[in-house]
Amino acid sequence: MTLPRVLICGDLVWAHEESKQLFHGLADVVRMDSLDRADFFANLNQGGKYEGTVAIYRNNTSAEHVGVFDRALIEALPPGVRWIGHNGAGYDQIDVDACKKKGIIVSNTPVAVDDATATTALYLMISAFRHFSQGERSLRGGRWKSDISSSLTHDLTGKTLAILGLGGIGFRLAELARAFPMRIVYHSRKKVEGAPDWCEYFGQERLDEFLGLADVLSVHAPLRPDTEGLVSEEMIRKLKKGAILVNTARGKVIDEAALIRALEVGHLGAVGLDVYPNEPSVNPRLLDFPNATLLPHMGTETRDSQKKMEVRALTNIRDFLIKGKGIDIVPELRDLATKL
């Protein structure tokens, strides 16, 4: 009997054993080793080594060889491909609209990313309030703490953390920050069902009030066409002078030029960034600001979370093979999944 193929696009690092167990007797798991898009397609087609692929596991590093899963790639996939199991919470590298038209379901890996990404945001927030990153640069430069002005640093206790997008990561950050304690407020399109009372909701009509309260605004909105530039110049201006902006979501959710202008004029007191609009390029202007704590997109870079993410992405594919569905179908495709 020929087993259906699951194509691993981008390396599996931690979940080799789990992969064997999940797909034993169920699928032939093949590693994609194409160095470019043309070879990728050639091998997906009849006679190619990926022929018979019904599901593709992918992570963002696969883009280095075959590019992102844009419309052109999705449209060119053979009709047998029914599922893309993305390893990552953010699936902005996949054109879900093209997938919908082609009847391909996409799953992602929420929950698995929450701890690591929330602790990254927490670190950026603490460093931004306390200027720890600048302190380390001062020490490493042989200047002990002479670069630091403690009159510009603050405790977190009693400050207000404003969360833009209360999904799993935003909520985990809220739980952590509550320990200081900080006041927690959040804004999202809808009030989050089941969110505790200590997370105060500010709807669209109270957005200005929400922004005005923030000592730190932490961004947790996914990147979609309607969220690109969501944190605009106008929004940044509504933050109080000296507020902190933290981003562990996607660089393009913030208008970067507006963020830089706000740092230049001292409207923003500090920023903590893990993500940038054109990764791995970082706008060199950002490097000039001593009050910017900058990380190279390390949000989920722990072996524990990487393993949880790999297993979760593979489990969605296994569930598709067995039951025709998975638990993490992305919101845009849930309707389509119920019709299958």
Ligand X SMILES: O=C(O)C(=O)CO
Catalytic residues: 250, 279, 297
Q: With respect to ligand X, which residue has the nearer C-beta, 213 or 309?
A: 309
Least distance (Å) between residue 253 CB and ligand X: 12
* CB closer to ligand X, 26 vs 63: 63
The residue among 54 and 113 lying less far from ligand X, judged by its C-beta, is 113
Instruction: List helix spans (H) across the chain.
Output: 16-23, 37-44, 63-66, 71-76, 96-102, 114-130, 132-140, 168-178, 207-213, 233-238, 256-264, 284-287, 303-323, 334-339
Q: Which of residues 100-129 bind ligand X (CB under 6 A)?
A: 113
> DSSP secondary-structure letter at 297?
S
Closer of 5 and 297 to ligand X (Cβ): 297
Spell out, one character per residue from 218 to 237, where the chain touches ligand X: x when CB under 6 A holds, - when not: --------------------
Residues touching ligand X, count (CB under 6 A): 7
| CA distances in angstroms from 334 to 7, 272, 325, 327, listed in the order given | 23, 34, 10, 10
Structure tokens at 129: 């309030």
Shortest distance, position 299 Cβ to ligand X, whole Å? 4
SS3 43: helix
Whole-angstrom CA distances from 285 to 259, 261, 281, 289, 321 are 11, 10, 12, 8, 48
Least separation, in Å, of the C-beta of 5 and ligand X?
A: 25
Pick the piece of the chain touching ligand X (CB under 6 A) from 19-27, 147-155, 207-215, 295-303: 295-303
Q: Which is nearer to ligand X, 130 or 220 (CB)?
A: 220
* Residue 306: partners with Cβ closer than 8 Å, 6 or more residues away: 13, 14, 300
- Segment contacting ligand X (CB under 6 A): 137-145, 151-159, 277-285, 293-301? 293-301
Tell me which stretch binds ligand X (CB under 6 A): 37-45, 127-135, 208-216, 296-304. Answer: 296-304
> Closest distance between ligand X and the C-beta of residue 139, in Å?
28
Using CA atoms, how far apart are residues 277 and 302, in angstroms rounded to an integer? Answer: 23
**Three-state DSSP state, 270:** strand
Of 297, 326, 318, 330, nearest to 116 (Cα)? 297
State the nearest-atom distance from the C-beta of 265 to ligand X, in Å: 30
Nearer to ligand X, 116 or 185 (CB): 116
Cα-only R_g, the chain: 22
Find all residues with CB under 8 Å of 67, minimum gap 6, and list them: 37, 73
Contact string 81-100 vs ligand X (x = CB under 6 A): -------xxx----------
Q: How far is the CB of 163 from ligand X (least distance, A)?
A: 17
Query: Which DSSP helix (H) or strand (E) runs through 53?
Result: strand 53-58
Nearest Cα to Cα of residue 53 among 86, 5, 8, 85: 5
Binding residue (CB under 6 A) for ligand X from 119, 300, 306, 315: 300
Q: Cis bond leading into 181, ω under 30°?
A: yes
Give the residue with the Cβ less far from ligand X, 86 or 131.
Answer: 86
CB of 172 to ligand X, least distance (A): 13
299 contributes a contact to ligand X by CB under 6 A = yes
Q: Is 10 in the site for ligand X (CB under 6 A)?
A: no
**32 belongs to the binding site for ligand X (CB under 6 A):** no
Separation of first and last alpha carbons in the chain: 25
Judged by the rule CB under 6 A, the positions of this chain that interact with ligand X are: 88-90, 113, 297, 299-300
